[in-house]
Amino acid sequence: MNDEDGDKGSKAPERSTPDPSATPESVEPETVADPPAPEPDEAPAPDASVPEAPAQQPSADDAPTTQLNLGDLGERSEEQAPDAPLWVEPPANEDVTQVIPAIPPGPVPGPTQAYTPPADDPTVVAPAAAAQVPPQPAPEPSPPAEPSAEQTAPSRAPWVKIAAVTGGVIALIGIAYAADLAASSGKVPRGVTVAGVDVGGSSREEAEATLQAQVGPRVDQPLTVTAGDVSTQLVPSAAGLGVDWEATLDRAHSQPLNPFTRLTSFFTTDEIGVVSTRDEAALASAVDGLRGETDRASREGTVVFEGPTPVPVDPSTGQNLNGEGAEAALTEEWAFGRPVELPVDVVPVTVTKEGVQRALDEVATPAASADLVVTGRDGKVATAARQQIGAIVGFEPDGNGGLKPTYNIGAATGILAPQLVSTEIVPKDATITLDGGSPTVVPAVVGDLVQWPKTLETLPELLRGNGSHTTAAVYGPVPPALTTEAAQALGVKEVIGEFTTGGFSAASGTNIRLAASEINGALIKPGDTFSLNGYTGPRGTAQGYVESGIINNGRPDTAVGGGVSQVATTLYNAAYFAGMEDVAHTEHSYYISRYPEAREATVFEGAIDLQFRNTAKTGVMIQAIGGASDLTIRFWGTKSVDVESITGNRTKPTEPDTVTLPAGDHCIASSGAPGFTASDTRVISDHATGQEISRDTRTVRYDPVPIVKCEAPAAPPKPDERTPAASPAPPAPAESPKPTTPKPNPNDGE
């Protein structure tokens, strides 16, 4: 402590009086705080001959104290003045530990220096005094005594022991590490598992054998897979999955060198999985095969009717198997033998349970509370019973979590309309009859029918009530499709074209007269196209047609509806001379002598049709008259053109072939006829002026009619009666081919 410190007004510390009975050896040293560092300009020059003793740090729990060295207090006290102070004033307002230097045995010349006693010197702790004491010159410190061997030995011994033990432990750890590393060299690292099978510590060969024995069989065992809330099974090998053993063991790497990793391997495992081989096509096919069980469509909530009872149907989300994710999951997880969870894509719903309940309470329940009744004329009523309400009322999502009611007006009309037919007047078209030999217009009838859309337009409000669901039918006029005025304006008044054919069999006559009756009275308005197949419809046994002659593959044959081609030829010629526009027609494959060359037609249901268009400004009515052996068809209208037919010469003749068939019902013998090429030219002229309007030529090539022979099979030869024993058994007679009904060729016609 410098002398200047004593003049700063600090209170002097209380005097510390040593215990006379205490000796330096009996006083326990206290922790010594470092003295305050002197200012740079006040620091005394260090004495190189006196070593500086290190100061001890006070503990945190000690109060500020001043240490006194009493080793030579007796000697010092004799030399100093009686009133000399034995304490040093600490700096003002500084709560730190101060060191009172030891008093040397005699006066020491030179500047004073603070002295820090060795750790073993006895000291006495004196509390700081409050009173101010005049500053005293600091005595010269005596050189510190060298510590004896007995003093230093006890303090060093524990550290030596700790260092020795630590070194020994480290050496043992190093030896153990080296031994463990050497013992596991060339083996699979400890703790490694493959698909749950522990192979750590095994050689590579041993590990592969273990895996093939325990994991290998799993490839052929059914594997449970789950997708959402659905579980099913598949066999990995059937899905194209397998194991690459070499690549799997390569995943284990080499022995780790990190000591910590080697230590933790005693307590942990390292699952490396398997490296799977996969057949992409087989795996994709297997995953797709699961969709039948895993995938399901979402079900929107709705309300259905079970009889008269409305039943709520809660919404249910759907799911679709995620193909790529499923393939990846199977590839990574199948070898573990445990259930594999496959990812699915959830298909959401839009209707909530609350929306379903609201539709049930507000719409469905009131709608089913009573019958729907429509009252008609003359006291007639139509009723849709409560049990039928489900066919009329339905629901669909409204996009906001609820249900929107739908009303099937068509279904309601279908239930109610038949019950009020007797109260209606059905409209009738005007017709043209030929009673008396000339066309007469039969007036049309305007109908008076229930207007069901208008009657049921208030159905939503009608069914929402819990009381009566009754409304009145609304009637309205319905005009006919052909009014009286329109029929009169068609100008059907005279024959504008006709043609007659004959020479058919009885069976063909049945079919000819039936088809003629169906087209009789047909009205063709200006610009309309007539179709024979379209007008008659199917021509089968259900419609009354019978089996008769047709042409099949150039040869005569029979089929249901045979003979209708004669109607087609007669109709074609009547349209030809009436000036109708030819839209579509097909000639027979070979010439039939009762028809005009290159001016005839055939039909075949579903394949060959006869069509023509009315290009006149007036209408045309068809009159068909079927007799016992002939057919006449007339076209009635307003004559505006004249038609002339010019038949060309036959050219390019071809000879027939001979065909031999087994005798039977389906073999019709024919003498045949040569084929040839013919042509027809139609010339159309204006009826009023005679001016030619058009000239068209059509050329037709007819195939030769084959010569057909029907022969029975030859009889088997008789055995030789002279050598019956030596004669071989006669061969079995050859079976005559069974007659089959050849499929008609559409190009031949009926």
For residue 101, what pLDDT band results from cuts at 50, 70 and 90? Answer: low
Give pLDDT tens digits for 672-730. 889 999 999 999 999 999 999 999 999 999 999 888 888 887 666 665 544 444 444 45
Residues 446, 553 within the same domain: no
Question: Which of residues 486, 513, 539 is at a domain's end?
Answer: 486
Whether 258 maps to a domain, the answer reads yes
Residue-wise burial string across 201-216, b where 16 or more C-beta atoms lie within 10 A, e elsewhere: bbebeebbebbeebbb
Residue position matching structure tokens 């709608």: 367
Q: Which amino acid is at 301?
A: G
What is each CA distance from 547 to 491, 507, 708, in whole angstroms?
40, 7, 21
Answer yes or no: is pLDDT of 441 > 60.
yes
Q: Which of 428, 453, 486 is the last residue of a domain?
A: 486
Torsion region of 221: left, alpha or beta (phi above 0 gives left; psi -120 to 50 gives alpha): beta
Does 63 reside within a domain?
Answer: yes
Domain co-membership, 313 together with 241: yes
Instruction: Identify the CA nearest to 144 among candidates 251, 69, 210.
Output: 69
What's 393's domain CATH number? Answer: 3.10.20
- Within this chain, do residues 28 and 110 fall inside the same structural domain, yes or no? yes
Residue 724 lies in a domain: no
> In whole angstroms, what is the distance from residue 713 CA to residue 562 CA?
30
In terms of domains, do 327 and 273 share one? yes
Take residue 136 and report the two structure tokens written for it.
């005293």
Q: Which residues form the domain of 230?
A: 185-349
By the 8 A CB rule, do 395 and 493 touch?
no
Tell me, yes or no, whether 11 and 43 share the same domain: yes
Render pLDDT for 327-379 as a digit per residue (tens, 0 to 9): 999 999 999 999 999 999 999 999 999 999 999 999 999 999 999 999 999 99
- Sorted by sequence, the CB contacts under 8 Å of residue 716 that are 6+ apart come out as 730, 731, 733, 734
Q: Are 262 and 200 in contact (CB under 8 A)?
A: no
**Strand 403-407 and strand 393-397: pairing?**
antiparallel
Which of 83-92, 286-295, 359-368, 488-497 is least confident?
83-92
Are residue 458 and residue 583 in the same domain, yes or no? no
**Which distant-in-sequence residues (6+ apart) come within 8 Å of 215 by Cβ?**
194, 195, 197, 243, 274, 335
3-state SS assignment for residue 237: helix
Residue 738 lies in a domain: no
User: What is the predicted pLDDT for the residue at 418?
Assistant: 97
CB atoms within 10 A of CB 541: 11
592 found inside a domain: yes
Q: 268 and 358 in one domain? A: no
Could you tell me if residue 178 is inside a domain? no
- 378, 335: one domain: no
pLDDT for 138 equals 52
Last residue of a domain, one of 145, 172, 204: 145
Query: How far is the C-alpha of 740 from the C-alpha of 266, rounded, in Å?
Result: 88
Q: Torsion over CA of 154, 157, 162 and 165, rounded to 10 degrees?
A: -140
| Inter-residue contact 499 to 505 (CB < 8 Å) | no
Token pair of 133, please? 């004491």
Q: Do residues 711 and 663 lie in contact, with contact meaning Cβ atoms separated by under 8 Å?
A: yes
Percent of the chain with pLDDT over 70: 71
Q: Is 716:556 a contact under the CB 8 Å cutoff?
A: no
- Mean pLDDT across 172-199: 74
Report the alpha-carbon distance of residue 532 to residue 575 in Å, rounded.
Answer: 12
Rounded mean pLDDT of 208-236? 93
- 748 falls within a domain: no
- Domain assignment of residue 160, yes or no: no
Q: 405 and 499, same structural domain?
A: no
pTM of model > 0.75: no
Helix pair 506-519, 564-578: axis angle to 10 deg: 50
CA dist 229 and 548 (Å) reads 66
CA pair distance 444, 484, nearest whole angstrom: 5
Please tell me the total count of domains within the chain.
4
In the predicted model, is pLDDT for residue 736 greater than 90?
no
Question: Are residues 193 and 80 part of one domain?
Answer: no
Are 68 and 34 in the same domain? yes
Q: Tell me, what's the pLDDT at 157?
A: 67
Task: Quote the percentage of the chain above a pLDDT of 90.
Answer: 54
CA atoms within 13 A on the CB side of 289: 13
Do residue 616 and residue 512 come from a single domain? yes
